[in-house]
Amino acid sequence: MENFFDNTEIAFKLKSDSELERAYFLFKMIAHQPLVRIGTAVTNFAIKAHLPVEGLIRATVFDHFCGGVSELDCMKTVDLVYSAGVCSVLDYSVEGNETDQEFDAVVARTLKILDLVKEKTAIPFAVFKPTAVGRFDLYVKVGEGTSLTKEEQLEWDRVCLRYETICKKAYELDVALLIDAEESYMQDAADELVESMMKKYNREKAIVFNTLQLYRWDRMDYLKGLHQRAKEDGFVVGMKLVRGAYMEKENDRAEEMGYPTPICESKKATDDNYNIAIRYMLDHLGELELFLGSHNEESTVMALNLMEEKNLEINDSRIWFGQLYGMSDHISYNLADRGYNVAKYLPFGPVRDVMPYLIRRAEENTSVAGQTTRELSLLSQERKRRKL
Ligand SMILES: Cc1cc2nc3c(=O)[nH]c(=O)nc-3n(C[C@H](O)[C@H](O)[C@H](O)COP(=O)(O)OP(=O)(O)OC[C@H]3O[C@@H](n4cnc5c(N)ncnc54)[C@H](O)[C@@H]3O)c2cc1C
C-alpha cells in the first residue's frame, strides 16, 4: 500500500492560512528542547503564582491542542472536523483530582458526555482517566495488595461504584467507552476493575475498552491472558493500543526505587511490541475490538495492510484509528478521506487544569523519537503549496 499520508492538501484542509502559520511556529518552538524545558518551568511557576498567563497559553498551545474549556466550546470543533469525516472523543483533561467531590463531578460530566455520544455520530466514544475518578495513591495501594484501612476500603468501594455507574450507563445507551491507562504502579488496580466491567457489559460486543501501553514489556502477556479469560467467560475485549506517555517518569521511579524498569529496552523494542499487539488483535478480531491510538505512520500502515490482507472492510466497526487533536492531521484526515474510522481525542477543561496534559504533549513532541520533524516538514510542504 502506498504511503498516502503525504497529501498535505487533505491533511490541512480545515486549517486557515493563519492557523497553519501558528501550527508551524508552535512546532518550531516545541522542537527546541531547551525552550520547552524553560517554557515549562516558567509556565508552571506563573500558574502557581497566579500570574495572568492564561491568555498567552490559550492563544498558543491551548488552542492548538484543546477544544476549549467546556463541552459546549468543543462543539464547533467537533462539527468542523466531522465535516472532513473525522470524529471526536471529548476528553475532560483535568488531572490531579483528590476529593470525592472532584471525582463525582467527573462522573457527572462523563454521564453527560455519554448522552452526547448517543446523540451525535460525530462523537463515537466517551472516555475517562482512572485517576479522574479515584485517588492515585489508593490505586497504588490496592494494586500492591496492601491491606486497606476500613476508611480506605469504603473509599475504594466508592471508586468501584463510579466505574459501575459510568459503564452501566454506557451499556444501557449502547455506546462505547474508553478508559485510559496511566502509570504502571497504579494500573494493576484499574486493570482489574476495567476487566470486571468488560465481563459484565461486553457480552455481545465491546462497550468498555481498556488501554494497553506497549512501551511496557509485560503487556503482550497481559493481553493474551485477558483474551484467554474472555474466551472462557464469554466476553469481548475492547482495547485501545498506545505506546505510552509516562516513559521518563517510569524509568526515573524504577531507578530511584531500585526495581527493573517496566519500559521496553529501546524505542525499537516498543515499536515491535506495538506492532505485535496490532497483529494479535486483528488475528482475533471479533473476540477483540481495537482502537489504535498512535501517530506512528509505520504502525498505522501495517494495520491498514493487515486489514487489506484479511479482506476486512475499510470501515469495519471493530477497528478505530485515533490521534490527539493538534497532532498528526496528515494521518487522521488522509485516513478519513479513504473511509477508515478515525477519531481525534479532543481535550478540554480550564486552562490551568489542563497544563499537565499540555506539558506532556510538548515533551512528547520534543523527544528525539517523536514526530516533530515530520509535523514540521509536512507543515512546511503545505506552506509552500499555498505559497505562504
Ligand atoms: C487516541 C490516543 C489515546 C491515548 N491514550 C493514552 C493513554 O490512555 N495512556 C497513555 O499512556 N498514553 C496515551 N496516549 C498517548 C500515547 O501514549 C503517545 O501519544 C504515544 O506514546 C506516542 O507514540 P506513537 O504511537 O504516536 O508513536 P511514536 O511517536 O513513534 O513513539 C513515541 C513513543 O515511543 C515510546 N518510546 C520512545 N523512546 C523510547 C525508548 N527509548 N524506549 C522505549 N520506548 C520508547 C514512548 O512511548 C514514546 O511516547 C494516547 C494517544 C492517542 C493518540
For ligand 1, atom 44: residue with the closest CA? 267
pTM: 0.95
The 10 Å Cβ neighbour count of residue 239 is 24
What rounded mean pLDDT belongs to the chain?
93
| C-alpha 293 to ligand 1 mean position (Å) | 8
**Does ligand 1 have an atom closer than 6 angstroms to the CB of 331?**
no
At residue 370, the pLDDT reads: 60
Confidence at residue 28, expressed as pLDDT on a 0 to 100 scale: 87
Model confidence at 2: pLDDT above 60: no
Q: What single-letter DSSP state applies at residue 320?
A: E
pLDDT for 368 beyond 60:
no
Average pLDDT for 299-319: 97
What per-residue confidence (pLDDT) applies to 37? 76
Distance of CA 61 from the midpoint of ligand 1 (Å) = 19
Using the predicted structure, report yes or no on whether residue 378 has a pLDDT greater than 90.
Answer: yes
Please tell me the distance from the alpha carbon of residue 329 to that of residue 333, in angstroms, as a whole number: 6
Q: Residue 303: CB within 6 Å of ligand 1?
A: no
* pLDDT reported for residue 40: 79
90-104, 302-316, 360-374: least confident range: 360-374
Cβ of residue 262 lying under 6 Å from some atom of ligand 1: no
Q: Is 211 in the pocket of ligand 1 (CB under 6 A)?
A: yes
**Residue with the three cell numbers 512501551:** 215
% of the chain surpassing 90 pLDDT: 80
* Structure-derived torsion over alpha carbons of residues 97, 102, 104, 110, reported in degrees to the nearest 10: -70
Give 213 Cα–ligand 1 centroid separation in angstroms. Answer: 8
- If we measure between CA atoms, which residue out of 325, 323, 275 comes closest to residue 5? 323
Cα of 242 vs centre of ligand 1, distance in Å, is: 6
How many residues would you count in the chain? 388
Residue 154 CA to ligand 1 center (angstroms) comes to: 34
Residue with CA at minimum distance from ligand 1 atom 51? 293
Q: Tens of pLDDT along 251-303? A: 999 999 999 999 999 999 999 999 999 999 999 999 999 999 999 999 999 99
Written as one letter, the residue type at 218 is D
User: Distance from the CA of 247 to the center of ligand 1, in angstroms?
Assistant: 9
The beta strand positions in the chain, using DSSP E, are 87-92, 125-128, 176-179, 208-213, 237-242, 288-293, 319-324, 342-348
Report the amino acid identity of residue 139: Y
Ligand 1 center from residue 204 Cα (angstroms): 30
Atom number of ligand 1 nearest to Cα 179? 8
How many CA atoms does the CB half-sphere of 371 hold within 13 Å?
17
pLDDT of the residue at 13: 95
Q: For a pLDDT cut of 70, what percent of the chain falls above it?
A: 98
User: What pLDDT, in 10s, does the model give residues 193-222?
Assistant: 999 999 999 999 999 999 999 999 999 999
Taking the centre of ligand 1 as the mean of its atom positions, its distance from the CA of residue 257, in whole angstroms, is 24
- Distance (Å, whole) CA 199 – CA 243: 25
Tell me, using a 6 A CB cutoff, whether residue 345 lines ligand 1: yes
What is the CB neighbour count within 10 angstroms for residue 132? Answer: 23
293 CB within 6 A, ligand 1 = yes
Query: What DSSP letter does each residue of 182-197 carry, written as one string?
Result: --HHHHHHHHHHHHHH
* HEC sequence for 215-272: CECCHHHHHHHHHHHHHHHCCCEEEEEECCCCHHHHHHHHHHHCCCCCECCCHHHHHH
- Pocket mutation for ligand 1, best pick of 81, 219, 242, 301 (most atoms within 8 Å of C-beta): 242
Residues 6 or more apart whose CB falls under 8 angstroms from that of 324 comprise: 65, 295, 344, 345, 347, 361
Per-residue confidence (pLDDT) for residue 373, from 0 to 100: 84
Sign of the alpha-carbon dihedral angle for 158, 162, 165, 171 = negative
C-alpha cell at 309: 490482507
CA gap 5, 278 in Å, rounded: 19
Rg (CA), the chain: 20
Q: Ligand 1 atom 45: the closest Cα is on which residue?
A: 267
pLDDT at 1 over 80: no
* Grid cell digits, residue 350: 480550564
**What's the rounded mean pLDDT across residues 13-38?**
86
